[in-house]
Chains A and B, each alone.
Chain A
Amino acid sequence: MSSYPALTFTDHGIYCAAGDFYIDPWRPVERALITHGHADHARSGHQSYLATNAALPVMRHRLGEITAQGVPYGDVVTIGDAQVSFHPAGHVPGSAQIRVEVAGEIWVASGDYKTEDDGLSEPFEPQRCHHFITESTFGLPVFRWQPQAQIAREINDWWAACAAAGKTAFLGAYALGKAQRLLTMLNADIGPILTHGAVEATNKVLRAQGIDLPETVHATAEIDPKAYPGALVLAPPSALGSAWARKFGAQENAFASGWMQLRGVRRRRAGDRGFVISDHADWQGLLDTIRETGAENIYVTHGYTDIFTRYLVENGWNAQVVPTEFEGETLDTEGKE
């Protein structure tokens, strides 16, 4: 074992001295290893980027001209004195946990992750390690996700009821990841699926890298809403109720988010419906993962950090809160997209 930790937490982000690189840094650095393409993890301004092959297309789409290198999942890359590999995080297509080994000491920075196989993202693979950096977005026992198939039924039932009532169903979700996951859950027999520009742009990138998504129609300002009776429109939450959305006439709004578990949050958003579906681990998912890593040292980043850490400490882990600038799943439309 080395005499100093392989990863440290700095004001620029998670740093590896042995390899002189950062993981998901929030200030510009020379070398950035990126877990996934969401804006709070993949920021602009770094001199070079390293991510999974599957994550790169979205990053290039969002960050423009970047100097970036891709690696396959599981391949070990040597950077300085560090052995680095990327492993599926199950969060969104291309997302990874980053495993760093320095002189026998193993760290895993998990970024954002979920444990349920969503049929779209590379399924989560827990990694044995000594030190595990975990998010805690939904780190409270009130968060317990239902199986995806059940949520799919709820959404399709709602859509069918909207269609029967002659209303357009607007479903609000993150443009990267959640929207595509929902696409694979929708029953296209109910009606046409329309997309907001932000969602369609991401669809295009993912399709180009070989990900199979159902047929969608880009709902531009020019299309005639009346030509799509019984449609479901997938859009970022901020677009619901906008002038663009109102063109569709009679409509129902719904949000798809882990926060919809809380009745109060759903009601504040004034969405008619909320579907409880998240790309983050629920309470049990977080605890199961931490057990499966075998790690004794747990670093808790974004979410209910204080509460979750206290629980881990009481149950025998050497856990601590680490302040970061990651945001997890937010309801504020300016949060991630």
Chain B
Amino acid sequence: MKHFAALFNAIDHSTKTTVKVSALADYFAEAPDMDRMWTMALFSGRRPKRAVTTTKLREWAAEEARIPLWLFEESYPIVGDLAETIALVLPPNETSSDESLSHWINALRALASVEEEDRKAAVLQAWAQLGGTERFVFNKLITGGFRMGVSQKLMTRALSRATDKSEAELAHRLMGNWHPDDTTWEALIEAEDASADASRPYPFYLAYALEDGPDALGAPEDWRAEWKWDGIRGQLILRDGQHFVWSRGEELMTDRFPELARAVDFLPSGTVLDGELLVWHPQTESPASFNALQRRIGRKTVPKKLLAEAPVVLHAYDLLEWEGADMRETPFAERRAVLERACADLPAEAPVRLSPQLDFDSWEDLAEVRSVARDENAEGLMLKRADSPYLVGRKKGDWWKWKLDPLTIDAVMIYAQAGHGRRANLFTDFTFAVWNGNDLVPFTKAYSGLTDAEFREITKWVRKNTLQRFGPVRQVTPHHVFEIAFEGIQASPRHKSGVALRFPRMSRWRQDKPLQEANTLDDLNDMLRIYG
């Protein structure tokens, strides 16, 4: 664990990508196979199952630290991280250990199958043997949620440096269902044929936002445009008569969208589609808004009624594999042509639709098309260079998302709450209200969009203008107006205001705007009527 803890420190002590990547590359070059397998697993979100509840961990930590549980609970939000809070309150370690990362991971996985008494003894023993960063890392492993400022992309880059294989190849090898228990470093990284797993997806290509409009992109005829759907990005894999659905976050979603099973009846094996999962209204032959899809998100099994009310269809916009061959190097326009042929004769009951291409002769034309995107339940346009290959990850140049401007409303800050973790001693979580006659009706929370300097300024102001405290929440004097930007609005009986916003954030601090000129509940209801 010392080696891994040193790696963690090297990464944690720098904000520079180059330093992180080279620390990780050195580690990959030197560590034993099992340790590097687990390191790859941890950095790609494959963490060991949680074997101890956090409730128990808190109790044991408070007990060992000889502090009352409430004091632990009060400290936790200030520290902002459970694993860190535990590591800090515990007394210093008595002994040390030279065991490896894999040893400790196996030790904590073994906890799942023993009695609670033994589980506790094992955890206490680990705490007594591990100090400083090692203890923190161990706690991170138990509590799950292992994030430490290294994306999978950086990890892949480091791995590429340590193995002399290309990043794109490694990214592909690391996709899908592998686990350190079932494979080896040799099989996963080194072996010639890495296509053994039928479910393995391709790494997604991600677009950058087009900030200043398309004029700088060159000739319009070099580009293709589609709606940018407001759904769930998904990859549908049809191989060996089976089907698999992957999310962009590399989560296998096959069981969540059972309607896609029928795709095998309409498309040949050896096909991989990239597209958007959307709820489909068969009556109007159009996609529903994101609100409809929200009912399906997070459901591992889908009741029949919901399946009938909110059926999901894949809107295919790219073809990654055809007749078993990797198509990613083929130019987009050619991939699209094959995709169109493949989808040409799909009957209405097929769970796949072709996402249409939009006609335009000039960028002005396209701007007009974009202006009606909300009517299509799209959030803007996608622009794709006709001759571009399908790249790995977020790359500038060939794919752009040209989103609609967000909806905005001017609102009054009425409650403030301190953040946690990085923002532990700043007020960053605010509740906003609009006018209803002479009353202020809260309608949304927001906690992003301001600069650190602005958060510091508002924090000083909150300290001096607190009217009342409700636990961690402070009611403040209504004074500051903020422009709240958001992507969507829907009716919500659970909220006092009757509406819920999608992705609300503070887009501007309207220091110029008097309190009385903030928007009203009527304004909000107008928006609900138009966009809800």
Q: Which residues of A are interface residues toward B (Cβ below 8 A)?
A: 140-144, 259, 261-265, 267-268, 270, 272-273, 304, 307, 310-311, 314, 331-332
**Bound CA–CA A298/B65 (angstroms):** 24
**Bound CA–CA A144/B452 (angstroms):** 28
Known: A262-B80, A262-B84, A264-B80. 20 other contacts (CB 8 A): A140-B75, A142-B75, A143-B88, A144-B88, A259-B425, A261-B88, A264-B84, A264-B421, A264-B422, A265-B425, A268-B426, A270-B15, A272-B13, A273-B13, A307-B74, A307-B75, A310-B70, A311-B68, A311-B71, A331-B425
Q: Is the CB of B71 within 8 A of A272?
A: no
Q: Is the CB of A307 within 8 A of B81?
A: no
Q: Is the CB of A142 within 8 A of B81?
A: no
Q: Tell me the B378-422 residues at the A interface (CB within 8 Å).
A: 420-422
Q: Tell me the B304-334 residues at the A interface (CB within 8 Å).
A: none
Flag whether B110 is at the interface (Cβ < 8 A).
Answer: no
Whether A265 touches B424, Cβ cut-off 8 Å, given contacts A142-B85, A272-B15, is yes
* Smallest CB separation, A301 vs chain B (Å): 15
**Bound CA–CA A11/B366 (angstroms):** 65
Whose C-beta in chain B lies nearest to the C-beta of A306? B74
When distances are taken between beta carbons in the complex, the residues of chain A under 8 Å from B426 are 268
When distances are taken between beta carbons in the complex, the residues of chain A under 8 Å from B71 are 140-141, 307, 311
Flag whether B107 is at the interface (Cβ < 8 A).
Answer: no
Whose C-beta in chain A lies nearest to the C-beta of B62? A141
* Smallest CB separation, A286 vs chain B (Å): 13
* Smallest CB separation, A282 vs chain B (Å): 11
Scoring B residues 56 to 94 as 1 if CB is less than 8 Å from chain A, else 0, what string do you get?
A: 000000000101101110110011110011001100000
Contact partner of A142 (CB less than 8 A), chosen from B70, B88, B422, is B88
When distances are taken between beta carbons in the complex, the residues of chain B under 8 Å from A273 are 13
Flag whether B14 is at the interface (Cβ < 8 A).
Answer: yes
The 9 closest A-B pairs by CB, nearest first: A264-B421, A142-B88, A268-B422, A264-B422, A264-B80, A141-B89, A307-B74, A140-B75, A142-B75
Which among A140, A270, A311, A314 has the greatest number of chain B C-beta atoms within 10 A? A140
Q: Tell me the B413-441 residues at the A interface (CB within 8 Å).
A: 420-426
**Bound CA–CA A268/B149 (angstroms):** 13
When distances are taken between beta carbons in the complex, the residues of chain B under 8 Å from A263 are 12, 81, 84
Q: Is the CB of A314 within 8 A of B456?
A: no
Q: Is the CB of A265 within 8 A of B422?
A: yes
**Bound CA–CA A314/B68 (angstroms):** 10
**Bound CA–CA A332/B85 (angstroms):** 23
Whose C-beta in chain A lies nearest to the C-beta of B74? A307
* Smallest CB separation, A184 vs chain B (Å): 24
When distances are taken between beta carbons in the complex, the residues of chain A under 8 Å from B68 are 311, 314
When distances are taken between beta carbons in the complex, the residues of chain B under 8 Å from A331 are 425
Q: Tell me the B7-26 residues at the A interface (CB within 8 Å).
A: 12-16
**Bound CA–CA A54/B322 (angstroms):** 82
**Bound CA–CA A270/B453 (angstroms):** 13
Q: List 7 A-B contacts (CB under 8 A).
A: A140-B74, A141-B71, A264-B84, A267-B422, A268-B423, A272-B15, A273-B13
Whose C-beta in chain B lies nearest to the C-beta of A158? B13
Whose C-beta in chain B lies nearest to the C-beta of A267? B422
Whether A140 touches B423, Cβ cut-off 8 Å, given contacts A263-B12, A272-B15, A307-B71, is no
When distances are taken between beta carbons in the complex, the residues of chain B under 8 Å from A310 are 70
Contact partner of B79 (CB less than 8 A), chosen from A142, A144, A268, A307, is A142
Whose C-beta in chain B lies nearest to the C-beta of A331? B425
**Bound CA–CA A144/B66 (angstroms):** 14
Whose C-beta in chain A lies nearest to the C-beta of B87? A142
**Bound CA–CA A273/B84 (angstroms):** 17
Whose C-beta in chain B lies nearest to the C-beta of A270? B15
Q: Is the CB of A262 within 8 A of B456?
A: no
**Bound CA–CA A323/B15 (angstroms):** 38
Whose C-beta in chain A lies nearest to the C-beta of B86? A142
Q: Is the CB of A142 within 8 A of B78?
A: yes
When distances are taken between beta carbons in the complex, the residues of chain A under 8 Å from B456 are 332
* Smallest CB separation, B453 vs chain A (Å): 10
When distances are taken between beta carbons in the complex, the residues of chain B under 8 Å from A265 are 422, 424-425
When distances are taken between beta carbons in the complex, the residues of chain A under 8 Å from B422 are 264-265, 267-268
When distances are taken between beta carbons in the complex, the residues of chain B under 8 Å from A332 are 456
**Bound CA–CA A314/B456 (angstroms):** 34
Whose C-beta in chain B lies nearest to the C-beta of A142? B88
Q: Is the CB of A264 within 8 A of B15?
A: no
Contact partner of B89 (CB less than 8 A), chosen from A142, A264, A267, is A142
* Smallest CB separation, B425 vs chain A (Å): 7
Q: Is the CB of B420 within 8 A of A264?
A: yes
**Bound CA–CA A138/B74 (angstroms):** 13
When distances are taken between beta carbons in the complex, the residues of chain B under 8 Å from A311 are 68, 71
When distances are taken between beta carbons in the complex, the residues of chain A under 8 Å from B423 are 264, 268
Whether A262 touches B79, Cβ cut-off 8 Å, given contacts A141-B65, A142-B85, A144-B88, is yes
Q: Is the CB of B79 within 8 A of A264?
A: yes
**Bound CA–CA A314/B70 (angstroms):** 11
When distances are taken between beta carbons in the complex, the residues of chain B under 8 Å from A264 are 79-81, 84, 420-424
**Bound CA–CA A304/B74 (angstroms):** 10
Q: Tell me the B170-227 residues at the A interface (CB within 8 Å).
A: none
Contact partner of B75 (CB less than 8 A), chosen from A141, A259, A267, A270, is A141
When distances are taken between beta carbons in the complex, the residues of chain A under 8 Å from B67 are 141
Whose C-beta in chain B lies nearest to the C-beta of A311? B71
Whose C-beta in chain A lies nearest to the C-beta of B65? A141
When distances are taken between beta carbons in the complex, the residues of chain B under 8 Å from A142 are 75, 78-79, 85, 88-89
* Smallest CB separation, B492 vs chain A (Å): 32
Whose C-beta in chain A lies nearest to the C-beta of B76? A142
When distances are taken between beta carbons in the complex, the residues of chain B under 8 Å from A268 are 422-423, 426, 452
When distances are taken between beta carbons in the complex, the residues of chain B under 8 Å from A141 are 65, 67, 71-72, 75, 88-89
Whose C-beta in chain B lies nearest to the C-beta of A252? B14
Which among A144, A264, A311 has the greatest number of chain B C-beta atoms within 10 A? A264
**Bound CA–CA A261/B78 (angstroms):** 12
When distances are taken between beta carbons in the complex, the residues of chain A under 8 Å from B81 are 263-264
**Bound CA–CA A273/B15 (angstroms):** 9
* Smallest CB separation, A265 vs chain B (Å): 6
**Bound CA–CA A332/B455 (angstroms):** 11
* Smallest CB separation, B494 vs chain A (Å): 31
Whose C-beta in chain A lies nearest to the C-beta of B14? A272
